[in-house]
Amino acid sequence: MSVTATIRIQEADFDVAQEIAALSKGRTDVGAIVTFSGVCRGSENGEPIAALTLEHYPGMAEAEIGRHADEALARWPLQGLTIIHRFGRIAPGENIVLVVTASSHRQAAFEAADFLMDYLKTNAPFWKREESEKGTSWIEARDHDDAAAARWTKP
Amino acid sequence: MRVKYFAWVRERVGVAEETVQPPADVRTVTDLIGWLSSRGEAYAYAFEKPKVIRAAIDHAHVKPDAAIAGAREIAFFPPMTGG
C-alpha cells in the first residue's frame, strides 16, 4: 500500500502525542517512530528574545514540503509521515515544526526525519524574524544548514 | 506576470505583490532583477546584493539564469530560515 504524507502549514499549535497516535494507532506494521520537534528558544546568540514571527509563502510552502516528502517516501521504506510547520508569532517554548516518521525499523525512520529537517531548513519558504528589547530583525540563514542538506545529495 | 516578495525583500520593496510587464529583452531571473532594480530606490535597495536573493517560478526554486517566459508567478526572497 502506498503511503501518503500528511502535510499541514498552520498558525495553530499542534499536539505531538496526538500526531504520533494518528500515525500508529491500530497498526502492527510500524516498528519505529521518530519525531523531531523544533521549539522556539528563549535566546539567540546569548540575547533574550520575546518571540519569533514566521512568514511563509502560501502555496509554495505546501508544494516544496510535498516534493521533499515524496522524495523521503521514495528513498526510505516508511509506513507513515507527518510534517507540520507553523507560521505567525511564536513565543519561547512553543512548537515551530514537527516531523514524524514511522517505519518497520528505526534506521529508515531516523534517516528520513534527519533528511526532511535538513531540507525544511534550507528549502522550505519560511523566514524567521526575532523580537527582542532592541527591536525586530530577520534571522540570517546559516551556512552549516546548507552543508547539512548537501549530505543527502547523491554524488 | 505576478511578482511576489517575502521577508526583508518585501519590506524593502514596500509591497507584497504586484503585476508587471517587463520588456521583451528581459528573459531571465537575473534580467528581471536588473529591470526591477531600475524602477526606483526601494527596488534598488531590495536587490542591492543580487547574489543573496533567491527566486521561485510558479512555486519552484530556480537559478538566476532561469528563463522567465511563460511564468505566471515569480517570487523573490532571502535565503530561507524555517525549520
What cell does A118 get?
Answer: 535538513
Quick one: pLDDT at residue A154? 67
Whole-angstrom Cα distance, residue B36 to residue A53? 28
What cell does B8 get?
Answer: 526583508
List all residues of chain A from 53 to 82 with a beta carbon under 8 Å from chain B: 54-57, 59-60, 63-64
What cell does A47 get?
Answer: 540575547
What cell does B41 get?
Answer: 530606490
The ipTM (two decimal places) reads 0.95
Question: In this complex, is the C-beta atom of A21 within 8 Å of any C-beta atom belonging to chain B?
Answer: no
Among A57, A124, A141, beta carbon nearest to B6: A57
Chain pair A-B, CB pairs under 8 angstroms: 73
Q: Is residue A104's pLDDT more than 70?
A: yes
- pLDDT classification of A128: cutoffs 50, 70, 90: very high
Write the pLDDT tens digit of every residue in B10-63: 999 999 999 999 999 999 999 999 999 999 999 999 999 999 999 999 999 999
Write the pLDDT tens digit of every residue in A53-83: 999 999 999 999 999 999 999 999 999 999 9
Nearest Cα residue in chain A from B56: A60
Nearest Cα residue in chain B from A123: B80
**B83–A97 CB contact, under 8 Å:** yes
